[in-house]
Amino acid sequence: MALFRNNRLPNLKLSLPQASTTSLPCCFPIVAFATASTTVTSCSSNTVSASDLDRINVLGNGNGGTVYKVRHKTTSEIYALKKVKEYLDSASRHQLLREIEILRLVDSPYAVKCHDIFQKPSGEVSILMEYMDLGTLESLVVTEDQLALIARQVLKGLNYLHELKIVHRDIKPANLLRNSKQEVKIADFGVSKIVVKSLDKCNSFTGTCAYMSPERFDSEAAGAEEESESNVYAGDIWSFGLTMLEILVGYFPLLPQGQKLDWCTLMCAVCFGEPPKAPEECSDELKSFIDCCLRKKPSERWTASQLLSHPFLLLQD
């Protein structure tokens, strides 16, 4: 049984200056078959109309909008509906288009399924997703066995995304959702990117800074001046390693328990400190697993595919 603790740092998201402060009404070229009321584009074959859905309650608020639990009026099927903020600056509009492009591509049991995307004539966009009834991995504390079950599913999801040349760029407990079927899935492609050129850099300050890899803070200091395609995906592995360690120990592992997070302390810990390790009392396999994820040089970090064959995961088979 997983335990819950309340001793996490309350705010691991550092706000950075916005690229633009101009708010523009959004209108996206989402669908070719616009109707007068709400328009729909399908990520799957079964089409649901926005008017078929009843709102039950708010599941949460993110930077991009609000997520509601909704019920289909005739089938009683439950979904999560993310209503994207109506007014977005140009950078956010561009990113939303990217997210939609990725949601259309992604079809894996290890990523939260997007059923449909609705756009009203006003430009308001809503994303209809599979409902994950146990919410995020935030505040969850697990045993080694439970960690292996979770890690394997997240790695299968990451391996799938990386094979499609998609970098998630915001892996953290809040973006991993679970359900009562013991499934864990990757969510929120809000800052993800498709690597178009092999040397596409992904070291911009996008995503949640607390989980960013050393090379995304400072590629030179992390020995990653020579950008290679595999380095681009290694950023997700660092974030994954930190996330797994966090749900094992119950606090953000880069800082001493209870220490307040600020930009300077975080940057020093990531760039100049030793990578965090699994506690002494953990199995050797788990210590090695965490070490393989949290190597400072991206080229030395294991890939998702290599980690899937790590003894820590094989032990629990």
Ligand X SMILES: Nc1ncnc2c1ncn2[C@@H]1O[C@H](COP(=O)(O)OP(=O)(O)OP(=O)(O)O)[C@@H](O)[C@H]1O
Which residues lie near ligand X (CB under 6 A)?
59-65, 67, 80, 82, 112, 129-132, 135-136, 174-175, 177, 187-188, 190
**Minimum separation from the CB atom of position 131 to ligand X (A):** 5
Rounded to whole angstroms, the Cα distance separating 164 from 107 reads 11
**Minimum separation from the CB atom of position 310 to ligand X (A):** 27
Task: Show the tokens assigned to 176.
Answer: 């991993």
Is 82 known as a binding-site position? Answer: yes
Q: 68 has which bridge partners?
A: 58, 81
Rounded to whole angstroms, the Cα distance separating 104 from 102 reads 5
Choose between 66 and 316: whose C-beta lies nearer to ligand X.
66
Could you please report the per-residue DSSP string of 159-174?
A: HHHHHTTEE----SGG
DSSP state of 111: B
- Identify whether 170 is a catalytic site residue: yes
Choose between 57 and 309: whose C-beta lies nearer to ligand X.
57
Choose between 59 and 166: whose C-beta lies nearer to ligand X.
59
**Minimum separation from the CB atom of position 206 to ligand X (A):** 11
Residue of 35, 60, 47, 252 whose CA lies nearest to 139: 252
Residue of 232, 242, 178, 165 whose CA lies nearest to 209: 242
**Minimum separation from the CB atom of position 130 to ligand X (A):** 6
Choose between 173 and 253: whose C-beta lies nearer to ligand X.
173
Rounded to whole angstroms, the Cα distance separating 56 from 133 reads 13
Rounded to whole angstroms, the Cα distance separating 92 from 74 reads 35
Minimal CB distance residue for ligand X: 62
Active-site entry in 170, 218, 236, 262: 170
C-alpha separations of 168 from 56, 68, 236 in Å: 29, 23, 7
Active centre residues (catalytic): 170
* Binding site residue list for ATP: 82
